[in-house]
Amino acid sequence: MRIWIVGASSGIGEECAVEFASRGESVILSARRRDELERVRQRCLDAGAAGAEIIQLDLSDTGSLEGLAQKAWDTYGGLDILLCNAGISQRCDTAETSVSIIRKIMEIDYFAPVILTKCILSRMLDAGGGQLACTGSIAGLFGSRQRCAYSSAKAALQRFYETIAAEYGDRGISTTVLIPGRIRTDISLSAIEASGKPHGVMDPGQQKGIPADKAARIMVKAIYRKKREKLVGGVELLMAYIKRFFPSLASYISSKVTN
């Protein structure tokens, strides 16, 4: 199969790329840092990828995304799977978060994947079908402290994908929303603080999360099985069920949990 992974230069995206490669798939790797993409590309080839190509992109430059989506589609003569994994988090309370930071996070975590998804969706419909997958977050299931924009963006993206499933499921389009909890990646290091600077700290909860390669194996299996939704993580995933059945308790826990 032909798979485009957006956000493939580290963490979950990198490990998903290598997992797909180990199954003999053809992958396209996208992110901002070309040097890191070259490193991941070599890992994919060593793992057994049928092909591994790079398309460098910057999700904050939304005006360039439609052309890059066409380039990705043309690379292997079409795509079977799009995995929108890239994103950025935050570490600041709502009152301290400027609208410019909220807009930046929404642009990268919501509008950019929406643009890419719409571009590929139209082509998949013309081709007779395909699969669209995105990495959401457990933070998108309920309000989380110091995540006002991040939680909002992930919630919006998850609902966007559910809408596509409702509209196009009978036309050969399947969607998979991956909902990770705490995964041991560098996402907290690059999270935006109120000053606009990177957080630069590995949060204790993040440090205790499951390894990225383990998360990737679960995610890739869910994509192959065309699961509509898949929770990925450890004990923190209990919050998804607490939110569903005991919303008041979930609100209380959310107010106490920090990083």
What is the pLDDT, as a whole number, of residue 185? 81
Find, among 192, 209, 211, the residue nearest to 200 by Cα.
192
Residue 28 neighbours by CB distance under 10 Å: 24
Buried b (16+ CB within 10 A) or exposed e, 220-246: bebbeeebebbbbbeebbebbebbeee
What is the pLDDT, as a whole number, of residue 236? 87
The CATH number corresponding to 2-256 among 3.40.50.10330, 3.40.50.720, 3.40.50.620, 3.30.1180.20 equals: 3.40.50.720
The domain limits of the chain are: 2-256
Q: How far apart are CA 30 and CA 40, in angstroms?
A: 10
| pLDDT beneath 70, residues of the chain | 202, 205, 258-259
Q: Are 52 and 4 in contact (CB under 8 A)?
A: no
Q: How far apart are CA 98 and CA 56, in angstroms?
A: 29
Residue with the two structure tokens 């559910």: 162
What is the pLDDT, as a whole number, of residue 259? 65
Full-model pTM:
0.93
What is the pLDDT, as a whole number, of residue 202? 67
Question: Which of left, alpha, beta for 133 (phi over 0: left; psi -120 to 50: alpha)?
Answer: beta
Catalytically annotated residue among 150, 161, 224, 252: 150
Identify whether 150 is a catalytic site residue: yes
